[in-house]
Structure 1
């Protein structure tokens, strides 16, 4: 990795020899070809570009035509950003389809205003010294511009980017192009899946006059608890995406039972309990990772640690951790929300219940994680609070 000291003192490097250039290309070839996660792929592209042209920093910007924005999920030295598609040097390069070379940002006349608002303003905040800049647009297989590479500060003695650098960065972009298109498509499909799953979850809840914010809150609580229990970011995110489907089986419960304001009879409660099996039946045959997770959550979120839950009376660690997490998230939200048949419980009352039910209804480890993560959970509850409530949720 190439680093630049805050005071601008650089270790002078030399442009790569042909055999060194091949080594860099081969090193990144397999990584890029096998990578499907968009943020990881963009980071690989940025690293590859930086090494190929001996720059201090490299950022890969993508064009979002729908939102008319350019965005970067990861970049060297700067946080993820979204900007209007015509903003700054990147916007100019994408708009014209032409590369931009700047030898010294502080002496450049052509882009003076753009630089003062962008790179120079950022330098004043961070203490970094931007000198040379290069921006090149790159295209997809149809020849449409899909984004731009931006390189900052050439680390060779000349301290300026050259036409050769342009060729090399263009090579890096074209090499990664197919993988990038594939990752973008995968990302779009996943975002669509998330939207469909969340909407289906809302449909399940709205039939019982539950608010859409219920599924949002349960999703966020589940995510916080998963991280608190030591799960990876990926697994916590998976549970967050899937958990809105926990009550999808309610779509098949008759209105007379689902919307009854009073206490359910034993027969009616048996009908209500069937929403767990129905939800599982709807989801279990999917090969999609997200829907498989949703099937587990739908089936097991009413199981109890002591084996007295439903639908199958699983106990202890025989209940999947996703079910154990969603169980406490769902109950916390139900008890803390006002319903036609009950007032919202005070927080202390809920916490006391959880302490009593630790080892009975709930997994003790999940209860401990809940108590540890309570400040974050309460913040989410406030963020997604219900403005107007009506109807009832029944378990």
Structure 2
């Protein structure tokens, strides 16, 4: 459907609304969606694609292209490759007559590309890191103008700098996640568990967090950091940690110290993920009725991350064969959670545990260590 050109007031509204959204967003995929939507609305295009350079593979790729899935092309190919290589914007009135346009995608999809505008965008150092590409002007004129180029260049200038910041933030977050996951597995290896234990606890925690009503970001944070819940075990002697028989009171006190040790290891960081990991490491053995450790916290004084991880950790511990016990059948596990609802565990978390039990069992079976076939 053809549209009328935007008024100055409408254009300013679009620009300010999207700039506010982009500046407050920290996830790369969401920023790319906002960028594509902003470009499409600003210049009244049918589709808008945000291309990025993948230096490692020598490709240009897009995870955001209206109407299509991810596309990857060799660097330097097509109109977008030309614009990025030269650093100059490109406007084409009819792509069907331009040899730089790759018409194969149109033949595959049945979509007819006519007018195209492509604008490279740069980081704070002036290096080209990607490009906007808008397709098919949705006005009666049916072609992009120099005015459109100026508008999209403005958006590209702002979005490119914002994108660099988001990419750096994501790189830092990804590095933290990798460190957290690796350290979590190291802690479990010392207690002769496999890495699948921490992966299962992470997935259980995410499912429970979403069902409990936490936001996507909170649930994702919990999934990322829950593998660190037992990191303090690195300080527990092997003779105590892997003792097959009953622990003495003194040995049990040593085991309990892993919550304090884990918190001490992590508490100094101001990074969101490591700060959350410190909470879980310290509080995942606290109990709803106040009888847990290390501080005897009760009820909602226990952080929700600790309350959820407690359920996820106990479910996995009971479901799996360990050096000191056989795996429990599912019926016995269900009985324990009913008995401990309001004592060991937050009643609301236990309720969502039962609501999502089938999904939790599916995760358990998918990430099975091959040691607990009798469970369930």
Range of TM-score over shorter length: 0.7 to 0.9
**Which residue in the other structure is 2:43 paired with?**
53
Partner of 2:232: 249
Instruction: State how far apart, in whole Å, the 2-side matches of 1:203 and 1:82 are.
Output: 37
Listed one character per residue, the Cα deviations across residues 128-151 of structure 1 (whole Å, up to 9, x for unaligned) are: 665433333322233432112121
1:151 is paired with a residue whose SS is strand
- Structure 1 residue 294 corresponds to structure 2 residue 277: yes
> Per the alignment, in what secondary structure is the counterpart of residue 121 of structure 2?
strand
Q: Following TM superposition, by how much is the alpha carbon of 1:222 offset from its aligned partner in structure 2, in angstroms?
A: 0.5
Measured in 2, the distance between the counterparts of 1:253 and 1:181 equals: 42
Matched, 1:83 2:75: no
Calculate the aligned-residue CA RMSD, in Å.
2.8
Contact 2:2-2:140 at 8 Å conserved across structures: no
1:19 and 1:165 map into 2 onto residues whose CA distance is 16
The Cα shift of 1:182 comes to: 1.2
Residue 67 of structure 1, CA deviation:
4.6
User: What CA deviation, in whole Å up to 9, does each residue of 1:68-101 have, x standing for no partner?
Assistant: 454445454445x263554765456545656555
Question: How many residues align structurally?
Answer: 371
Corresponding residue for residue 2 of structure 2: 11
Aligned pairs (5 A) from 1:205-284: 205-284=188-267
CA contact (8 A) 2:287 2:293 kept: yes
Bigger CA drift: 224-233 or 360-369?
360-369
**CA drift at 1:243:** 0.8
Alignment match, 1:146: 129
The CA deviation string for residues 266-295 of structure 1, in whole angstroms up to 9 with x for no partner, is: 211111111011111222232222222111
Kindly indicate whether the alpha-carbon contact (under 8 Å) linking 2:54 and 2:61 is maintained by their aligned counterparts in 1. Answer: yes
Q: Distance in 2 between the 1:68 and 1:350 partners?
A: 52
Q: Mean Cα displacement is larger for which, 239-248 or 144-153?
A: 144-153
Distance 1:307 1:387 in 2: 36
Q: Deviations over 1:162-198 (max 9, x none)?
A: 3443333222211222222111111111111111111
Tell me the alpha carbon deviations over residues 196-246 of structure 1, each in whole angstroms, 9 at most, x when there is no partner: 111111111111121111111111111110000011001111111111110
Structure 1 stretch displaced more, 132-141 or 68-77: 68-77
Structure 1's 388 and 164: CA in aligned 2 closer, same or farther, altered over 3 A? Answer: farther
The answer as to 2:62 corresponding to 1:62 is no
Asked if the contact 1:206/1:212 (under 8 Å) is kept, the reply is yes
